[in-house]
Amino acid sequence: SGYSESELIGNRLEEFFTPTYQNICQQQFPVLLEQGTHRQEIEFVCKNGTIITTDCSWSVVHDTQGNISYILVLQRDISSRKRFEEERTQLIASLQESERRWRSLLEHVRLVVVGLDRQGKVEYVNPFFLELTKYTAAEVLGKDWFENFLPNSQQQSVQQYFQDILDPDFQSHYQHSILTKSKQEKIIAWNNTLLQNVQGEAIGTMSIGEDITERYAIERMKDEFTSVVSHELRTPLTSIHGALNLLSTGLIQPQSERGQRVIGIAADSAERLVRLVNDILELERLESGKIRLSKQPVNAAELMVKAVDQVQVMANRAGIKLEVSSQAIEGEIEFEADSDRIIQVITNLLSNGIKFSDRGSSLWLTVELQQPEEPEITSPPDPNSATILFTVKDQGRGIPADKLESIFGRFQQVDASDARKKGGTGLGLAICRNIVEQHGGKIWVESTVGEGSSFYFTLPKETVAAEGENHDN
């Protein structure tokens, strides 16, 4: 304390306490006299003004007659221990706050977080992992990561990489697929961290990953698109270049029969090139939303007649008979749509049917109004819940089952030689699907190889009045 003996003797001990503890001692003095002992922490003021914390014990000492002789006070400096306890308390609070923040981050971040032990068992997954995979925590925790959540084809390589992570010199970045509960593959780009105990021994891993499935698909589509476009552009350009070379060098005279044939090939290639560029630009505008639909009340029969008129000459040249359902012509099926775009869809489907049908065969175009199933409780029919179903049926060569979905993609054709033989760009059905889906409809095909194909597309039966009411509401 820094006090001399003479400075202490004769003074009340509590005078050396801080004012707060002087009051406490005065309040506790009756308790001391009653119980004979008392113990508590005290703030003691040293001679130099420093305040220390002491563990102070009071004991009442009696003489042989039982009278109070004196009070024995023992004080032990516990300032260092108090500081340690305060620092420890602050550290624990800081760690708890840090843990709370990190746990909150892990639980709300839109990234996959997975913790594994040394054996590859799952110790932690964050809510986004469960949301992405549709598993529950009980279905994941404690399970073997490699056997349960990775495709068979990747289990061995990823397990080997996991063993490498447990080495100090591992590569932190890795990419592989995981399986959802429905066995769908999701491609994840991981950043892995080695977890160690206080001795520096590896005890597991913590991995944070980004779902790049869509990005990977887009990049692959972009690469495929670039490859296909390059090929599709190169083919007609090569024909045009070759024809011009033959004519410009004088090897073939333009007026000769062969020269006219070469000019015709160049003209066809140029026309195909123009169609290709136009289709690419149109599809890009449709997909980017730059083309807005101009919906107006339309009549199904009128659309069909206009579409047939546009392909009639083509059908006559190919020897194909166009059959339009008399019910559609006579009926009054009206709905709301962009008439030019729907005619474009019908015309494209009819053109394809003509291209891939044999001379002398027929091509049917029908339309019908489909009402929804009757509700259990009788109520007035809702005109806006009905759909319009268009069908184009041909007697062509048919489409293999594995192509029924893919032919609606960019540059997809049943036969790779079709673009050259039939003059198509491979974008028509992709444009059709985009137009139909922008109208809120669906398009699909059913086919039997050697017998023909039936293309269907539906459109919702919307009315201007109904839409106006919805906007008002």
Tokens at residue 347, please? Answer: 């015309």
201, 230: one domain = no
Q: Please give the residue that has the higher pLDDT: either 174 or 320.
A: 320
CA–CA separation, 161 and 159 (whole Å): 5
Instruction: Give the model's pLDDT for residue 382.
Output: 53
Mean pLDDT over 370-383 rounds to 57
Q: Give the dihedral sign, CA 132/138/139/143.
A: positive
Q: What are phi and psi of 399, to 5 degrees?
A: -125, 130
Mean pLDDT over 144-165 rounds to 87
Mean pLDDT over 433-460 rounds to 92
Q: Name 392's Cβ contacts closer than 8 Å, sequence gap at least 6.
A: 346, 349, 350, 353, 363, 364, 365, 454, 455
Please give the full DSSP string across 219-255, using - where no structure is assigned.
Answer: HHHHHHHHHHHHHHHHHHHHHHHHHHHHHHTTSS-TT
Q: Is it the case that residue 268 has pLDDT exceeding 90?
A: no
CA–CA separation, 348 and 429 (whole Å): 8
Tokens at residue 374, please? Answer: 């009757």
CA–CA separation, 63 and 61 (whole Å): 7
Render the burial of 359-371: b for 16+ CB within 10 Å, e for the rest.
eebebbbbbebee
317, 464: one domain = yes
161, 257: one domain = no
DSSP annotation of 377 reads S
- Low-confidence winner among 16-20, 225-229, 450-454 (lowest mean pLDDT): 225-229
Query: Does residue 253 lie in a domain region?
Result: yes
Instruction: Give the model's pLDDT for residue 114.
Output: 94
Using CB atoms within 10 A of its CB, is residue 291 exposed (0-12), middle (13-18) or buried (19+)? middle
304, 268: one domain = no
Backbone dihedral region for residue 392 (phi beyond 0: left; psi -120 to 50: alpha; all else: beta): beta
Query: Does residue 286 lie in a domain region?
Result: no
Highest mean pLDDT among 62-76, 99-113, 141-155, 458-472: 141-155
Query: Does residue 176 lie in a domain region?
Result: yes
Residue 302's CATH number = 3.30.565.10
Residues in the chain: 473
Mean pLDDT over 158-187 rounds to 83
Q: What is the pLDDT of residues 37-73, one digit of tens each?
A: 988 888 899 988 889 889 989 898 888 888 888 888 8
Residue from 144, 127, 147 nearest 136 by CA? 127
449, 322: one domain = yes
Instruction: Give the model's pLDDT for residue 137.
Output: 93
What is the identity of the amino acid at 326? S
Instruction: Give the model's pLDDT for residue 171.
Output: 63
Residue 121's CATH number = 3.30.450.20
Instruction: Give the model's pLDDT for residue 383.
Output: 52
Instruction: Give the model's pLDDT for residue 367.
Output: 92
CA–CA separation, 124 and 118 (whole Å): 13
Mean pLDDT over 75-79 rounds to 88
Instruction: Give the model's pLDDT for residue 416.
Output: 46
297, 351: one domain = yes
SS3 185: strand
Residue 411 belongs to domain spanning:
292-472
Task: Kindly report the average pLDDT of the chain as a whole number.
Answer: 83
Instruction: Give the model's pLDDT for residue 228.
Output: 66
Residue with tokens 């979905």: 405
164, 230: one domain = no
334-337/387-393 β-pairing = unpaired
Q: Is it the case that residue 329 has pLDDT exceeding 60?
A: no
378, 416: one domain = yes
